[in-house]
Structure 1
Amino acid sequence: MEDCHPSAISDEERAARRAQRAKSRREKLRLRRRRQLLRLFPILIVCLVGVFWSSRSRAEPAREKAGRAVLSTRPLPEAAAPPYSASVSADTIHLDEAFSSEYAVLIDLTNGTILAEKAFDTVISPASMTKILTLLVAAEQVTNLDDTFTLTREITDYCYVNDCSVVGLEIGETVSIRELLYGTILSSGADAALGLAMYVSGSQEAFVEQMNAKLDELGLAETSHFTNCVGLYDKDHFCTVYDMAMILKAAMDNELCREILGARTYETAPTPYHPEGQVLSNWFLRKIEDHIPDDFAVIGAKTGYVAQSGNCAASCGVTASGAEYICVTGNAYSSWRAIYDHVELYKSYCSP
């Protein structure tokens, strides 16, 4: 059996020592907080004085404005309308479920009236219709269409990883800026679009900042925001079909963009990678012209598709009398259905 050694202090004395230590810790904490407050006191005084003078300086102009308001009865000017806009009217047709595409808008550009719509103000993923804005931002800044750009591995890797539609440019292939512009629209080429972004801004990120600045300039920033220049799905990459109609209108007002958006085909120059060049084609324009009346022409278009948006299309049409219309649809179940929906809207609501 082990020997039992009695404790050197009693339980009462042990408790008294614990209490004394606790009291000592509390006193040290109190003194530390007091020192901290003393150090902060001058700063608090300065802040309070600053707040006082700031509130006083704001109050003085307010009193002056109030005094002036008594002397002036002129109404405040109305806010300026966005540079590109269209509005519904009593005659606007609200399409029902019988119309196939989930989203649609048809706009008469002559008077800025929405002729027909279906959820036109609902935010969607614009898919490759995004490239209309890519084209517009690039076209406004490019000064030499014959300048060249050499494709990089960074671009081809991006296109491969994200399964993008491409022109088919190769690493090290040098092409003109004009061909990048056409390739962005006719082939919906992400390689061409990224080449434009790199050429104009040095990076896709910097170029996208310019795209969003353009949306703001067009008065569309409240319901549209882009995160890439090719149309990849992103929860923060969105607009409405109405926004896209206004983007297309702005692009059609640019002479170079209008030419490119209206081209059925374009033949590129030969390169060592494509010795015979390439023939680029706008599939939507070539197919829709077989289904519209002879007195109507579609003079610009761009399609798009990602799983989250279905088949989308934006087009501009003109009658024989010169009246122009913009049509944008979203979430059709096939690319042909998107074409037929545009045909239906143009035939039904656009006067010859």
Structure 2
Amino acid sequence: MKKMISLLVLLVVIGVGFIYYIKNDLVNSVTYSDKVETTNNSVEQVNLKTENISSKTLLLKNLDTNDILLKKNSKQKVAIASLTKLMTVYVLLESVKDLNETVVIEQSTMDKLMKEGASLSGYLVGDTLTVRDLAYGIVLPSGGDASITAANLVAGSEKKFVSLMNKKAEEIGMKDTHFQNTTGLDARNHYSTTEDLLKLMDAALKNKNFYQVLVTTKYQTEEKAYAPEGYYIESTLLKDTADLSLSNGKILGGKTGYTEKAGQCLISIAEIHGTHYLLISTGANGNPTTEQKNVADARQIYQSIEHS
């Protein structure tokens, strides 16, 4: 009898595990539509040749009017790579109000990330960094070390900090989002949608410090123990070119991301004819050694906006 009960328990556990695997593997096996939904109004029109867009999901919003101008697979659950770090830095800046509070990068943090092949900020183990340094280190060079150091500062561990990230996601209505880490490295049950990422941005952009970090492309720290002149870091947006100007305006800043599962991703803000726009995209073809097709898509989309 005991053997029968044990067998039944084992079968139930296997069944639950299989359902969990199937549910969370859907992010890997989705079918994307090529259709881009457009909404034109009296303020602007978007004349876009959609066949030239590489990104598999996208959403374009006029930040001044709150109008959604473009959508593509915006409800699809996808891997989001380092776009995750925008939630990381948002929770950091909401949790620690004093940007001059300091913390030290630990060797264990660096060792873990180097084994995983994660992107790093350029800061060194033993550096005493301010929360301000961490925020820019998370967003501009996409520093996983800065992300985990922020997590340790706020919550004592990455695991506990991720719980705060998921709690914040629930609070702002991100119903199709779940985080497993602070860095965006591919992990089962780590996903979001462009519509949910818009909810994150709508909330986070109200934090003036978050906005300032996002629209900054270059940052210089103060003097550090291992860097007498401080550290100079710049945005991964500048990988292909330092010129973010457009024919009708300028990309002000943003956050790129890439993993093999997520493709090239980007959240950016641009000013066009005096109006501010937010663009969220994931799944562009390419990798860290190729052209930034996420940025190329953004340029094409922003430059397709015409004001009447």
- 1:177 equivalent to 2:137? Answer no
Match of residue 255 from structure 2: 302
- Residue in structure 1 matching 2:119, options 160, 165, 170: 165
Cα distance in 2 for partners of 1:125, 1:288 equals 28
Cα distance in 2 for partners of 1:349, 1:320 equals 9
Cα distance in 2 for partners of 1:312, 1:284 equals 11
- 1:330 equivalent to 2:276? Answer no
Q: Which runs of 5+ in 2 are unaligned?
A: 1-36
Cα distance in 2 for partners of 1:189, 1:211 equals 17
Match of residue 61 from structure 1: none
Cα distance in 2 for partners of 1:291, 1:146 equals 32
- Superposed CA deviations along residues 5-52 of structure 1, whole A, max 9, x for unmatched, are xxxxxxxxxxxxxxxxxxxxxxxxxxxxxxxxxxxxxxxxxxxxxxxx
Cα distance in 2 for partners of 1:163, 1:137 equals 24
Cα distance in 2 for partners of 1:122, 1:97 equals 20
Does the 8 Å contact 1:89/1:113 carry over to 2? no
Cα distance in 2 for partners of 1:119, 1:241 equals 8
Cα distance in 1 for partners of 2:49, 2:151 equals 38
Q: How does 1:35-50 map to 2 (within 5 A)?
A: none
Match of residue 143 from structure 1: 97
- Superposed CA deviations along residues 86-132 of structure 1, whole A, max 9, x for unmatched, are xx776598985442211111122334332112211111111001111
Cα distance in 2 for partners of 1:289, 1:313 equals 17
Aligned length: 262
Q: As a proportion of its length, which structure holds more strand? A: 2
- Greater length-normalized contact order (CA 8 Å, ≥ 6 residues apart): 2
- Residue in structure 1 matching 2:80, options 100, 117, 126: 126
Closer/same/farther in 2, CA of residues 347 and 209 from structure 1, 3 Å limit: same
Cα distance in 1 for partners of 2:54, 2:73 equals 12
Q: What's the TM-score once normalised by structure 2's chain length?
A: 0.78
* Stretch moving more, 95-104 or 275-284: 95-104
Match of residue 233 from structure 2: 280
Cα distance in 2 for partners of 1:89, 1:216 equals 28
Does the 8 Å contact 2:38/2:71 carry over to 1? no
Q: How does 1:263-278 map to 2 (within 5 A)?
A: 263-278=216-231
Match of residue 251 from structure 1: 204
- 1:108 equivalent to 2:58? Answer no
Q: As a proportion of its length, which structure holds more helix? A: 1
Match of residue 176 from structure 2: 223
Cα distance in 1 for partners of 2:49, 2:191 equals 22
Q: Which runs of 5+ in 1 are unaligned?
A: 1-87
2:64 maps to a residue whose letter is T
Closer/same/farther in 2, CA of residues 288 and 324 from structure 1, 3 Å limit: farther
Does the 8 Å contact 1:285/1:301 carry over to 2? no
- 1:344 equivalent to 2:297? Answer no
Does the 8 Å contact 1:248/1:314 carry over to 2? no
Closer/same/farther in 2, CA of residues 108 and 290 from structure 1, 3 Å limit: closer
Cα distance in 2 for partners of 1:132, 1:250 equals 11
Q: CA deviation at 1:252?
A: 2.0
Q: How does 1:20-59 map to 2 (within 5 A)?
A: none
2:218 maps to a residue whose letter is T
Cα distance in 1 for partners of 2:74, 2:224 equals 44
Task: Give the RMSD, CA atoms, in angstroms.
Answer: 2.3
Does the 8 Å contact 2:87/2:165 carry over to 1? yes
Does the 8 Å contact 1:95/1:118 carry over to 2? no
Match of residue 158 from structure 2: 204
- 1:190 equivalent to 2:144? Answer yes
- Residue in structure 1 matching 2:194, options 231, 237, 241: 241
Q: CA deviation at 1:168?
A: 2.7
2:307 maps to a residue whose letter is S
Closer/same/farther in 2, CA of residues 228 and 300 from structure 1, 3 Å limit: same
Cα distance in 2 for partners of 1:137, 1:127 equals 17
Task: Provide the secondary structure at the position in 2 that maps to 1:100.
Answer: coil
- Superposed CA deviations along residues 193-224 of structure 1, whole A, max 9, x for unmatched, are 1111111111111111111111111111x211
Cα distance in 2 for partners of 1:99, 1:273 equals 44
